[in-house]
A = this chain, B = another copy of it.
Amino acid sequence: MKKEIVLLQEEMDKENIDFYLVPTSDDHNSEYVSDYFKCREYLSGFTGSAGTLLVSKDAAWLWTDGRYYLQAAKELEGSGITLMKDGTAGVLSIPDFLAKEMGENTTLAFNGKLYSTAFCMGLRRKLAGKNRRMKIDIDLVHKIWTDAPKRSCKTIYPFEAKYAGTPVHEKLTSYREYLKKHNADCQVLNGLTDIAWLFNLRGHDVACTPVFLAYAYIDLDTAILFLQKEAVSEETATYLEEASIEVKDYDSFYKFLGSLTGKKILMDQSDLNFYGYQSLNRELRQIPGQKYTTQAKIIKNDTEISNTKACHLRDAVYMTKFMYWLKHEIKKRNLTEIEVADYIDKLRLSDKLALDLSFETISAYGANAAIVHYTATEESNAIIEPKGLLLVDSGGHYLDGTTDITRTFAMGPLSDKERTMFTTVLRSMLHLANAKFLAGCRGSNLDCLAREPMWEMGIDFRHGTGHGVGHVLSVHEGPNNFRYRVTKANLDAILMPGMITTDEPGIYLDHQFGIRIENELLCTKWKQNEYGAFLKFDYLTYVPIDLDAIDIDLLSEQEKMWLNDYHSSVYDKIHPFLTIEEQEWLRKYTRAI
């Protein structure tokens, strides 16, 4: 067994703990976590962005999803940890597994700050009986991880009005109206993107997510931010003072929860972590209700939309220049995955409004692209030859918006199979992007427009077709998305004008190749008539889709028209920012077929 696991098992023994759970999370339920919080990676050696480790006295298991089956299998080799392929027939979920494996009088422990209250409530119901216990006020990993990185504490800065659109006092007013509507007096916020959006502040405590460590409290009169005081610049302090926002110490939040009395608190169990929930004063009356920010921040305001369009245009110019470079360079010499990723990253980060990449660039050649969320490492770094397919999924945070785009490029001759599958993925992307629909539809209603071209071939891809995109926040933002699986507990958002969602179907054939094509879609009004309000999508992304990889015979007339219209817009928008040579090339790569 891996030595870090053995160390943990020794600590478990001291505390009389039978099972210890280590998710990929931080105290704020963030998707990406800063180095300080990378406990699961430290213990297991698995570097993927999603996965949960469970350790017992004599065994260990790691659950991860379809994107990471191959990568996890490789990274866990020799660790003694059993890979649990989440979502595969016969593989129990973690709660079900625990319910089965935990015997009489056993104890499960984990750091209760790393899980939402909703999850822990469900787990507790699952484990009821048999005198089983759940211990949540403990962090064994940082006890053994003696050289763990320090907690991040980067400077917090105001997100200016010209970028935020809606001023903080208006957002707070709306929040208070929302509280009153729900017959509540106050709410606490645990999620970092919600806090950054609400207070019009940004920071850099989490990789690829311009947010900062914080908790917040809002009631009908006051608003309190719990911050690491060293992170508060003078400018930010002045801004907060002018907005009448009180600042308290980050680490005093849980004590504050215990002191809160005489209020009706709007309780979002999917937001507040379980340790926080347990810290609440028992006298507080709880009213169940989603935090205001969840719905408010996914409808982008006019400033955010026009800024997003502007940054997407610059981003598309970088991507087009990158594609031009790729197509020419591969004729001269072989490339590598990392070299290619560095090239596009550098272009993006040269932008004068660039803040960060919006996630680590995926540059995956040939069979590597069949691993959905592959990241090239020094060891895996494949040599790109003038043949086959290269998948590049990348994006940036700019002060005026966030981008996320995937293109798959023909690096030279392709097999018929590669061409057929590329064309199928393109058809999927186009069918969803061109949907017209009545207001009231959810992403789950429309997802099958993208899936059907694949399903009719008996093929599927093991990820959502699309996710919401935060505005200079997390590139993954819910609850709007395109997924067909819904449950009572997890209904996706009704699509509304102003929402931004990606459209990124793919085909992944193990040990062969992987294809994904991703455009971002802005939901907009189409027409209003006696049947109601119809909506549609506008593209935000304007980058050529590689015509070298398409089998024209597989496209219907309608699909050709959709593609030609798109490429015509790409040319119109992008060519003014290119050199003469690039312009000529772009004309060819956006020609009507």
Q: Mask for A511-551, Cβ within 8 A of B = 1, else 0? A: 00000000000000011010110100000000000000000
Q: Is the CB of A486 within 8 A of B486?
A: yes
Cα A459 to Cα B531 in complex, Å, equals 7
Docked Cα-Cα span, A447 to B437, in Å, equals 11
The interface stretch among A1-9, A193-201, A449-457 is A449-457
When chains A and B are docked, how far (Å) is the Cα of A452 from the Cα of B434?
Answer: 10
A436 touches B456 (CB 8 A): yes
Chain A residues within 8 Å of chain B by Cβ, number: 36
Return chain B residues, CB-CB under 8 Å to A556. 556-558
Is A331 at the interface (CB under 8 A from chain B)? no
Copies in the complex: 2
Binding site for B on A (CB under 8 A): 435-438, 440-442, 444-449, 451-452, 455-456, 458-460, 462, 484-488, 491, 526-527, 529, 531-532, 534, 556-558
Task: For A531, give the chain B residue with the smallest CB separation.
Answer: B460
- What is the CA–CA distance of A440 and B529 in the complex, to the nearest angstrom? 34
Inter-subunit contact A448/B451 (CB<8 Å): no
Residue contacts A-B, CB under 8 angstroms, 23 given:
A435-B448, A436-B452, A436-B456, A437-B451, A437-B452, A438-B451, A438-B455, A438-B460, A440-B484, A440-B485, A445-B448, A449-B449, A449-B452, A455-B534, A458-B527, A458-B529, A458-B531, A458-B534, A486-B486, A486-B491, A488-B488, A556-B556, A556-B558
Give Cα A114 to B500, complex, Å. Answer: 45
Given contacts A455-B436, A456-B436, contact A488 B491 (CB under 8 A): yes
Q: Are B445 and A447 in contact, CB atoms less than 8 angstroms apart?
A: yes
Note all chain B residues with C-beta closer than 8 A to A527.
458
Docked-complex contact B448 and A532, CB < 8 angstroms: no
CB distance from A367 to the nearest CB of B (A): 16
Q: How far is the CB of A465 from chain B (nearest CB, A)?
A: 12
Give the complex CA separation of A484 and B437 in angstroms.
10
Is the beta-carbon distance between B437 and A448 smaller than 8 angstroms?
yes
Cα(A527)–Cα(B455), bound, Å: 11
- Which chain B residue lies CB-closest to A556? B556
Q: Which residues of B contact A442 (CB under 8 A)?
A: 486
Q: Which chain B residues lie closer than 8 Å to A438 at the CB level? A: 451, 455, 460, 484
**Are B436 and A458 in touch, CB under 8 angstroms?**
yes
Within the complex, the shortest CB–CB distance from A521 to chain B, in Å, comes to 15
Give the shortest distance, in Å, between A402 (CB) and chain B (any CB): 28
Q: Identify the closest chain B residue to A533 (Cβ).
A: B89
- Complex contact B458–A437 (CB within 8 A): no
A434 → chain B, closest Cβ, in Å?
A: 8
* CB <8 Å contact, B491 and A460: no
Min CB distance A311 to B, Å, is 30
Min Cβ gap A126→B in Å is 14
Which B residues touch A532, using CB under 8 A?
460
